[in-house]
Amino acid sequence: MRWPGETVKLWWCSECNSPLLDSLCCKCGGYGFRLGLADPGDARPAFSYDLDVLRKALELESGFNIFDKLISYNSFILLNKLMYIDDMKEVFVNGVKLGNLFYNPVENRWRFRFSYIGALKALELGFSRVLNVDWMVKRGVSIDASRFSNGDQVIIVFNGEPIAIAYVGRNGKARVLNVFRSKRGDYNTSSRNTSLDDVYKCNSNYIYRLESRACKHIYVLWEKFRKPIVVSYSGGKDSLVSLHLTVSTVGGVQVLFNDTGIELPETVSNVYRVTDSMGLSLVVASAGDAFWRSFSVFGPPGRDYRWCCKICKLIPAARTALKHWPNEALNIIGQRSFESIERSRSPPVWRNEWIPNLICTSPINRWSSLAVWLYIHSRRLDVNKLYFKGFDRIGCFLCPTSRLSEFRNVEETYPELWSRWRSLLVSWAYRIGYGMEWVDLGLWRWLTNTSPKIRIA
Ligand SMILES: [Zn+2]
């Protein structure tokens, strides 16, 4: 599916070896080259957890520690999410895409698929799962690969150059999956070590402009509507930035937290800690145990069966808004248009039909994920620690829109919480006569037989 709205544009400064939010680097004064990100291009920095995942995946693909030679822990790495059946991210190192890191739900592990440049570099470093051919292969053809193991990724080489990626099947044949079309060479970057501090220095003017624009947006609406301001804070990075911008523009505000009852403990404690440290008054719209009570009636929620949002979010929020702001309020939230197709279509000011007494706006609607991270880092904001444990987004831990890789993170970080949820799923599967793959492959995330469900099954 094509991304319908505006996309993020990023550049790379060869001299500073840093991504840029604008074509001009404000540290060295040079111009960067455009990064070829897949839409919408909302790339974020890789954290040490991500680098560990990447290191293991690369080791699995190559059979040796190729990570330390190919990448290093001191490189600044960008991860750009792709549309895929589970989690898949483009990996940019030193301004070039080395390949895609992706979670294979059937193998239940992370893998890495080389791009053309990634394959070129891997071959230089002694990657040995190689098949030499003397003809140009096409996607879908099979080549004898009996010396490799089932599931191995092999690089197909023609005239000494990588031309395609293939995967070995159970029959000992490698099937070509990806033929390299673009064979653009490497960029000559300084490959110096780059920290988040350095990246901020290269982008500080741009961040300053974004910040000024956002504060002006808040101030103008505040003047226009002359209503009390309430900032929605979910414990996530985007609403943290919106909260900080609002407080620095208008001073003390009320904070609204929608506690769905299925938040992760770290998220709840972050909300209390942040509002407390900023001296703000917190209003909690709590769903209590509504989710668990409703489960016994409705069963698990699905992407095509989102009863959870109404019961855990909209009803408590509407009730709380009516009680606290019967004469309307200006509701500052932290959504960004690059997050989802639905959000890319959101107008600058709107009202939710369920909560009409809140006038909603997002001052960071056009901020990219990288801008958000640079702002958080430079202002030393107390961001939710779950982002550094592999969580890409913060919210209900069993949300049916989650990917299996995210569920695995929940299971690793909060095993007791996950096992409670899993045992409920198992008992529901038993009740309706489904097998364990309905639980473990996450097929419960769809009520009806939609195409992604069929593909995973
Ligand atoms: Zn520079």
Distance 17 CA to ligand 1 centre (A): 7
Tell me how far the alpha carbon of residue 36 lies from the centroid of ligand 1, in angstroms: 19
pLDDT digits (tens, 9 = 90+) for 408-444: 999 999 999 999 999 999 999 999 899 888 888 888 8
Residue 397 lies in a domain: no
Distance 71 CA to ligand 1 centre (A): 20
Please say which residue of 332, 358, 387 terminates a domain: 387
Separation of 406 CA from ligand 1 center, angstroms? 35
State ipTM: 0.99
Q: What is the pLDDT of residues 13-26, one digit of tens each?
A: 999 999 999 999 99
Residues 229 and 364 in one domain: yes
Q: What is the CATH number of the domain that holds 152?
A: 2.30.130
Q: How far is the CA of 7 from the centre of ligand 1 (A)?
A: 23
| Bridge partner list, 45 | 78
Comparing 23-37, 139-153, 170-184, 270-284, the range with the smallest average pLDDT is 170-184
Q: φ and ψ at 313, to 5 degrees?
A: -115, -60
User: CA-to-CA distance for 286 and 235, rounded, in angstroms?
Assistant: 14
**Mean pLDDT over residues 309-336, rounded?**
94
User: Residues with Cβ within 5 Å of ion ligand 1?
Assistant: 13, 15-16, 25, 27-28
Q: Cα of 214 to ligand 1 centre, how many Å?
A: 26
173 & 211 share domain:
no
Whether pLDDT at 183 is above 90: no
In a domain, 339, yes or no: yes
Q: How far is the CA of 30 from the centre of ligand 1 (A)?
A: 6
Determine the distance separating the centroid of ligand 1 and the alpha carbon of 407, expressed in angstroms. 39
374 with 240, same domain: the answer is yes
Same domain flag for 234 and 311: yes
Burial level of 133, CB count in 10 A (0-12/13-18/19+)?
middle
CATH at 353: 3.40.50.620
Q: What is the distance in A from the centroid of ligand 1 to the CA of 120? A: 27
pLDDT of residue 185: 67
How far does residue 27's CA lie from ligand 1's centre (Å)?
5
H or E element at residue 104: strand 96-104
Residue pair 105/111 in contact by the 8 Å Cβ criterion: no
Confidence of residue 322 (pLDDT cuts 50, 70, 90): very high
Report how far ligand 1's centroid is from the alpha carbon of 396 (Å). 40
Q: Ligand 1 center to residue 43 CA distance, Å?
A: 19
Residues 219 and 295 in one domain: yes
Is-contact 234 243, C-beta < 8 A? Answer: no
Tell me: do 157 and 204 sit in the same domain: no
Per the structure, the count of domains in the chain is: 2
- DSSP assignment string, 251-289: ---EEEEEE-S-S-HHHHHHHHHHHHHTT-EEEEEE-TT
CA 56 to centroid of ligand 1, rounded, Å: 31
For residue 405, being part of any structural domain is answered with no
The answer on 168 and 246 residing in a single domain is: no
Distance 31 CA to ligand 1 centre (A): 7
Residue 167's domain spans which residues? Answer: 116-179
